[in-house]
Structure 1
Amino acid sequence: METTPLSGPKALGAFLRTQRENTPPALLGMPVTARRRTRGLRREEVAQLSGISTTWYTWIEQGRDITVSAQTLSNIATALKMKPAERHYLFRLALQNDPLDEPVPLVEEAVLAAVNQVSGPCYLLDLTWNMLAWNPQAQALFSGWLDKDAQPNMMRFMFLHPLAQQLVLDWETRASRIVAELRADAMHYPHDEALNLFVEQMTQESASFRGFWQRQQVIAREGGERLFQHEQQGRVAYRQVSWQLASNRTLKMIMLLPEATD
């Protein structure tokens, strides 16, 4: 298997190790005793639950260049109670197709209707979170950055611009989440030079980014409430809706629909 910073046996092993260590035995109905020293599950426990030998599972975690079947990966994902985004990420790392893949769900009519109703901030991001286009409402929301940066990048803003932690409420949660989203998106383009370089640069330039990246978390892009403390507008709340272009999945459009604040 070809290796890059975003794929290959080592990346697969590191992800599985993190998932195993973060899976509490109680989640699987296993008794927790005072004698237990291992954080999370033991390798032999995952191997037994997955129907493979401890040696084989250990080799996978060690990042050895071996061929792991899709069914074995499926069994491991089930044993570790992986969430859909984590499971998808696992199979992307291994360059395998998930045997349990489900059809893409239909888009809700309410979401489709929102396209013609957006009056709040809206902007377009590429694979490395460069801001390709934005409307006046977005520029007003991110005033002090978006109106001054000649080549604005949302990820760099969040981790390297002093305004970010003042503007974005619950900054740590949001920052952690967008790094997990970047890791999930990256698996579609593990050999993209620009993407690999971007991750390397961010890791070097921001200790916070580096810490979040090392958590090996993957999260699917989702909507939800977004809160800001704006210097002129005060506390403002939005409902985020994200779209990925069917013709170019490297592009994503973010729309912030105004919501009433308490």
Structure 2
Amino acid sequence: MGPTAAPADGYAAHLAAGRVLYPGIRLGRPGRARSYWLVIALMRALRLRWRVDVEGAENVAPGAAVLVGNHVSALDPVVLVISAWWRVTAFTKLEVFQGRGAAFFRLMGQIPLRRGDAAATDWAIGMAALALADGGMVGLYPEGTRSPDPTKLHRLHGRVLLPVLQGSPDVPVHAVTTRYTRRPGRRPLVQVRVSPPLPIDARTMAADEIVAVLRDTLLALGGQTYVDRSAREAKAERRPEPPA
């Protein structure tokens, strides 16, 4: 593991450090929530509302894996796990743990992340390393926020992505894309595509090479077009200007 990764036997101490970072915020047990499988079992009822088509789940061997996805909906992590029955721990912006849906993310054992805070980022990366050491899967969405245009893939950021891969370089990495199609009079179609393990060697490859492999695979799987700018910038442009 890299310098930011928490030791595999230090979960309790690492969780305690998170409570110091986030005083007054209930964190649950990221990566180890005992309620995870019950929540997934209950959420499988959502398949009555959507038609979920997963292709490539057989490419993922049992055990630890990093799943790197495009991000077009808040439902992206959900539609995969309710179909594949995997334990996936994803990074979640801290604001969610302070809002009305906080209980859901605690029950799912997701990792809170305060954006723009170096100490919080290191803590979250260490928690992801622990989840991988437990044999779980970690979901990453390096666009940083949901794309304002589902046909576009925006610039991938390495701030969290690269340390996670470099900290657990022997864990296989897969690209995952999700696409939603509304069909009048029929259930919406959700298409999830999962790649085979990618040719990524985080020990020897430069950061831009790793990002390029992921970008090109996501584009090929998801059928999106690439925009070399952040999704956050694109969202900001779409917001109406405040009145003068």
Same-fold status (TM-score > 0.5) = no
Looking at secondary structure, tell me which structure has more strand per residue: 2
Looking at secondary structure, tell me which structure has more helix per residue: 1
Pick the structure with greater CA Rg: 1
Larger RCO, structure (CA 8 Å, separation 6 or more)? 2
